Amino acid sequence: MNILSVVGARPQFVKAFAVSQELRTRHDEVLVHTGQHYDEELSGVFFDTLGIPKPDYNLGVGSDSHGKQTAEMLAQLEELIEKEQPDVVFLYGDTNSTLAGALAGAKMDPAVAHVEAGLRSHNRDMPEEINRILSDHASDLFFPPSERAVEYLASEGITENVHNVGDVMYDALLLAQETALTESTLLTELGLDGEPYLLATVHRPRNTDERERLEAILDTLAADSRPVVLPAHPRTVERLEQYGLLDEFEERLTLIDPVGYLDFVALQADANIVVTDSGGIQKEAFFLGVPCVTLREETEWTETIDAGGNVLVGADPDAIRDALSNPPQSTSDAEPYGDGNAAVKIRQTLERYVE
C-alpha cells in the first residue's frame, strides 16, 4: 500500500511518532511536512528527538492568514498526490494542514483517512473546530479516539467506515515516557529536581491576542507560591513584547524556549499541575495522572472532564486560583482513549479497507 501522510504542527509530529513506524513495517509511506510550524524548536527538533522519519517533502508554507495558508497547502498537495499516486491520504487532527489534505484527497483518487475524527468542542469561533468538521465530511475512513467521538460523527450522518481505535497520542506517550524520564536532564538544568512546580502553556489566539486576557492569566499564575515553568510559544513571546510585558514576566515566571517532546513529557510527569490551553496537552496530563487546569471555556476532550482529571477555567483569575489550590483529581480508572495500541489497529484497518 502507498500512503501519503500529511503533518504540519507539533501534535501531528507526536502522532506520527507512533503511527509512521507501524505503517512502515509493511507499507510505503511518503511523509509530507507542510511547514505550518516552521520554527525549528516547534518542528525540526521533533523529527530529531523522536526518530520520526525525515519528511520526504517540506512544502515550506510557513505562517500566513488561514485562507492563504490553506490555499497554498492545497495547491501543493494536489501536485504531490498527482505525482505520488497514493492509495491513501493520511491525516491527523484539526490544523489547516489537515483541512488542506482532506480537500486535496477528496477531489482526487485516493481514500482519505482521518485520525482523531469526530472531535467537537461545539465552538465554531475556533478555527480548529471548522477544520475538524470539514475534514470529517471530506474523508472516507475515520479513526475517532473515543466512543463519544463516534457518537458525534453519527449525529452528523457519518456512520460508515468509522473505527474507534483509541488515541494515538496514548501510544506515543507510552513509547516516550520511559525514555523521557531516564534521558531528559531538563529538570536538573532548571533546578527543579524534587521541587514542586506548575507547568503552563499559553498559545491560542483567544488567550494571547487580548492583552487583558493574557495578562490576567500570567499574573494569576505568577502569584502562586510555586515556580511556574512556561515553554513560550513564539506567538506568546511576540504578544508579550508587543504589550510591553515580556520583561515583567521573564522575572516572575520561568520562561523557557519550546522544548522537544521527550523533555516536555518529563516536565509534565513531574509537575504538580499542568495549566494549558492546548488540546493535546490536556490528554497527556490525563494519561500521566497529573491534574490539568484548562484555560478555555470548552474542550474537545470532554472525557478528561468527566473523569475528574481536568477543569475548565477560561481566563477567570478566581477560577484559576481555585483550581490551583484545589486541583482536579481523576476518579476514573477507565481508559476512554483505548489501550495504547491504536497504531496497530489503524494499520490493520487500512489494510482491510484498501484491499
Is residue 183's pLDDT more than 90? no
Question: Does the structure show a pLDDT above 80 at 43?
Answer: no
Four-point Cα dihedral 85, 68, 15, 86, nearest 10: 0
pLDDT recorded at residue 42 = 47
- Residue ranges of domains in the chain: 2-167+338-354, 175-325
Strand order of the β-sheet with 273-276 is 254-256, 228-231, 198-201, 273-276, 292-294, 310-312
Digit-coded pLDDT (tens) for 281-315: 999 999 999 999 999 999 999 999 999 999 999 99
Q: Check if CATH label 1.25.40.20 holds for domain 175-325.
A: no
Helices (H), 64-204: 66-84, 96-106, 127-138, 147-155, 168-183, 186-189
What's phi and psi for 194, nearest 5 deg?
75, 5
- Give catalytic status of residue 203 as yes or no: yes
pLDDT 10s digits, 67-120: 899 999 999 999 999 999 999 999 999 999 999 999 999 999 999 999 999 999
| Residue 63 pLDDT class (50, 70, 90 cuts) | confident
Nearest to 261 by CA among 6, 8, 11: 11
Write down the catalytic residue from 33, 114, 163, 203: 203
Is the per-residue pLDDT at 54 higher than 90?
A: no
**Residue 226: which of 272, 289, 277, 263 has the closest Cα?**
272
pTM (2 decimals)?
Answer: 0.87
What's the pLDDT tens digit per position in 333-354? 668 999 999 999 999 999 999 8
CATH superfamily of 2-167+338-354: Glycogen Phosphorylase B; (3.40.50.2000)
Q: 2-167+338-354 and 175-325 share one CATH topology?
A: yes
Query: Model confidence at 48, in pLDDT bands (50, 70, 90)?
Result: low
The C-alpha cell of 40 is what?
525549528
Cell of 261: 517532546
Interatomic CA distance for residues 121 and 128, integer angstroms: 9
Exposed, middle or buried by CB within 10 Å (0-12, 13-18, 19+), for 250? middle
- The torsion angles phi and psi of 190, rounded to 5 degrees, stand at -90, 0
